[in-house]
Amino acid sequence: MAEVVGTIEPETIPATETPPMTDGFHLVIDAFKLNGIETIYGLPGIPVTDLARLAQAEGMRVISFRHEQNAGNAAAAAGYLTQKPGLCLTVSAPGFLNGLTALANATTNCFPMILVSGSSEREIVDLQQGDYEEMDQLNIAKPHAKAAFRVLHAEDIGIGVARAIRAAVSGRPGGVYLDLPAKLLAQTMDAAAGRKSLVRVVDAAPRQLPAPESVSRALELLKRAKRPLILLGKGAAYAQADAAVRELVEKSGIPYLPMSMAKGLLPDNHPQSASAARSFVLAESDVVMLIGARLNWLLSHGKGKTWGSPKQFIQLDIAPTEIDSNVAIAAPVIGDIGSCVAALAEGIGADFPKPAADWLAAVAERKNKNLTKMAATLAADPTPMNFHSALSVLRDVVKANPDITIVNEGANTLDYARSIIDMYQPRKRLDCGTWGIMGIGMGFAVGAAVETGKQVIAIEGDSAFGFSGMEVETICRYDLPVCIVVFNNNGVYRGTDVNPSGGKDVAPTVFVKGARYDKMMEAFGGKGYHVTTTKALQQALDEAIALGKPVLINAVIDESAGTESGRLTNLNPQSAASKK
């Protein structure tokens, strides 16, 4: 028998520890959170359902809509109000296309927004092999966005998000598309390496100082002006250079005219406001300083009868390519609005000439005449209500509650509200802006309510409300302080049109008579009101503001009160037959 010398213990082999891993889902979320973006507006579905779920689990607020276009509009409004890109998340193909309208609108209006869409795999799309919701989304988005990026590898997510953020807010803000193929979201990588790959964007929208000579040129032109005018655009409101703008206006003594979304940058009852003399000052001024405004269709491209006598323009803009886009600009001042306005204000000393007394007197005379005329119109209280009488109630409500955000869209509802409702604080009026499109109402209302946490009143034509009305459920689901006032006159423009053929179908502009939109809000747990008088409208608004909950007021308006295309009849060509 062999001697047993001893036993040999097996060698202890340490178990190999698997390093912590992360994936594309978490890297996307972490990249946005690292850059202070905490809210997602969107609609879940393949392939981004888990992205929405995980974002909420990781502490982001996820506001889920019933239609992607409305989610995109909410993100755009958020971008305008916060100067950070609003984030919209959609599914692939049809969902992406639904969001694309909002992206294009954001780009046109210069609102910083990022549309993030899941997409089909590149290798299948490029060979057109028929993937689920196959579409080359990146190339479709490019013409409608300020920039468009696709990320294919998890380690590039940080850079992709950083580029999207910087593109959205730098220079002239706009919409950016970020394409995330489904395969990317499931990719995994070492968690430590993933953290290192993320990028915190530094100084995403740096100041751009105007050239001193451009400031001097503009000041010299103002000195020589006999009838100067300052025109404030929504770019001036977006800049949040409120104090500098006020200083420039008041030091110069020049009358100013705000575009609709610039209303409230200075209070509409400011003594230098020329809103009530709009046509007069546009026609009679000789030097016009544009601050964050473009000479686009809203200003008749700076040409024609609107502008009357010849004039010279000073234009403050961050984009040099905007200069001379319609007419010659005598004194361009290129830079960010805050820096440009501050430089001009600094150049206006005690010896700077004030506008001529006869010019100021003429503006005041026309302004007072128009205000007196408007006051008489608003004092009337017809039954049923018309646009003026109903809006006079809202005018008083906003005056008493100046921190309310007004969202406004429609034809007559929009046009009359612009001139009737005064605003007293900046960035408190959101409307369809540069493109003039309908359908922004509920998205903008949700975005404003989420970002400000304060009362929102959405003043809607019944036609405009129809574009996004299902989002009343979204408003109720998130218990937002949104009061919707639907001006119900039974149709587009008015409810009195008839079928010229005598057929049984109603006219194309006519809706169901006596529709009860308030019942839609009640169906989802909100509060509905049906009002037919100004007294009832006032009571409903007071109760809605006190409640601070989802409310819809169905305000019955005289169906014959509207006019064709509001004040844009000239943009709606008529056939020879229709003129007979």
- Tens of pLDDT along 370-391? 999 999 999 999 999 999 999 9
- pLDDT of residue 191 exceeding 50, the answer is yes
In angstroms, the first-to-last Cα distance of the chain is 126
- pLDDT of residue 346 exceeding 50, the answer is yes
- pLDDT of residue 15 exceeding 60, the answer is no
Rounded mean pLDDT, 11-18: 60
Rounded mean pLDDT, 261-288: 97
What pLDDT is attached to residue 580?
44
- pLDDT of residue 340 exceeding 80, the answer is yes
Are 459 and 413 within 8 A, CB to CB? yes
- pLDDT of residue 4 exceeding 60, the answer is no
Q: Return the CATH number of the domain spanning residue range 21-197.
A: 3.40.50.970
The letter for the amino acid at 431 is D
What pLDDT is attached to residue 379?
94
Q: Which two tokens stand for residue 536?
A: 């009832």
Q: Look at 88-92, 179-183, 403-407, 570-574 and tell me which has the smallest mean pLDDT.
A: 570-574
Neighbours of 36 (CB within 10 A): 11
- pLDDT of residue 576 exceeding 80, the answer is no
Which is more confidently placed, 310 or 238? Answer: 238
Quick: pLDDT tens for 450-481: 999 999 999 999 999 999 999 999 999 999 99
Rounded mean pLDDT, 347-361: 95
Axis crossing angle, helix 157-169 with helix 24-34, rounded to the nearest 10 = 40
What element of type H or E holds 22?
strand 21-23
Neighbours of 97 (CB within 10 A): 17
Q: Give the integer Cα–Cα distance in Å for 568 and 564.
A: 8
Q: Give the integer Cα–Cα distance in Å for 106 and 168.
A: 10
Return the percentage of the chain with pLDDT > 90, whole number.
89
Rounded mean pLDDT, 64-72: 98
CATH topology of domain 212-364: Rossmann fold (3.40.50)
Burial profile 514-553: b = 16 or more Cβ within 10 angstroms, e = fewer: ebebbebbeebebbbbbbebbebbbebbeebbeeebbbbb
Q: Give the integer Cα–Cα distance in Å for 436 and 144.
A: 16
- For the chain, helix (H) and strand (E) counts, in that order, are 23, 19
Strand-pair category, 188-190 with 21-23: antiparallel
Could you tell me which of 488, 491, 509 has the C-alpha nearest to residue 500? 509
Return the percentage of the chain with pLDDT > 70, whole number.
94
Query: Nearest 10 degrees: CA dihedral of 262, 266, 270, 276?
Result: 0
- pLDDT of residue 40 exceeding 70, the answer is yes
What pLDDT is attached to residue 11?
54
Domain with CATH 3.40.50.970 in the chain: 21-197, 380-568
- pLDDT of residue 13 exceeding 60, the answer is no
Q: Give the integer Cα–Cα distance in Å for 324 and 326.
A: 5
Rounded mean pLDDT, 33-58: 97
What pLDDT is attached to residue 12?
53
Are 512 and 519 within 8 A, CB to CB? no
What pLDDT is attached to residue 19?
85
Confidence category of residue 130, pLDDT binned at 50, 70, 90: confident
Which is more confidently placed, 129 or 165? Answer: 165
Rounded mean pLDDT, 350-363: 96
Contacts of 8 (CB under 8 A, 6+ apart): none
Contacts of 139 (CB under 8 A, 6+ apart): none
What pLDDT is attached to residue 18?
79
What pLDDT is attached to residue 578?
52
Q: What are phi and psi of 437, to 5 degrees?
A: -85, 150
Q: Give the integer Cα–Cα distance in Å for 428 and 262.
A: 9
Rounded mean pLDDT, 313-324: 96
Residues paired with residue 33 on neighbouring β-strands, in sequence order: none
Could you tell me which of 430, 451, 405 has the C-alpha nearest to residue 234? 430
* Burial group, residue 120, by CB count within 10 angstroms (0-12, 13-18, 19+): buried
- pLDDT of residue 17 exceeding 80, the answer is no
Rounded mean pLDDT, 494-512: 94
What pLDDT is attached to residue 570?
59
Query: Nearest 10 degrees: CA dihedral of 405, 74, 231, 410?
Result: -80
Residues paired with residue 88 on neighbouring β-strands, in sequence order: 41, 115
Could you tell me which of 255, 248, 254, 257 has the C-alpha nearest to residue 342? 248
Are 170 and 318 within 8 A, CB to CB? no
Q: Give the integer Cα–Cα distance in Å for 461 and 173.
A: 29
Rounded mean pLDDT, 388-405: 98
Q: Mean pLDDT score of the chain, rounded to an integer?
A: 94
Axis crossing angle, helix 412-420 with helix 357-379, rounded to the nearest 10 = 120
What pLDDT is attached to residue 336?
98
Report how far apart, in Å, the C-alpha atoms of 541 and of each of 182, 394, 455 are: 46, 8, 11
Rounded mean pLDDT, 262-266: 98
CATH topology of domain 380-568: Rossmann fold (3.40.50)
What pLDDT is attached to residue 14?
55
What pLDDT is attached to residue 3?
43
Confidence category of residue 362, pLDDT binned at 50, 70, 90: very high
Which residue's entry shows tokens 């988005």? 141
Quick: pLDDT tens for 515-555: 999 999 999 999 999 999 999 999 999 999 999 999 999 99
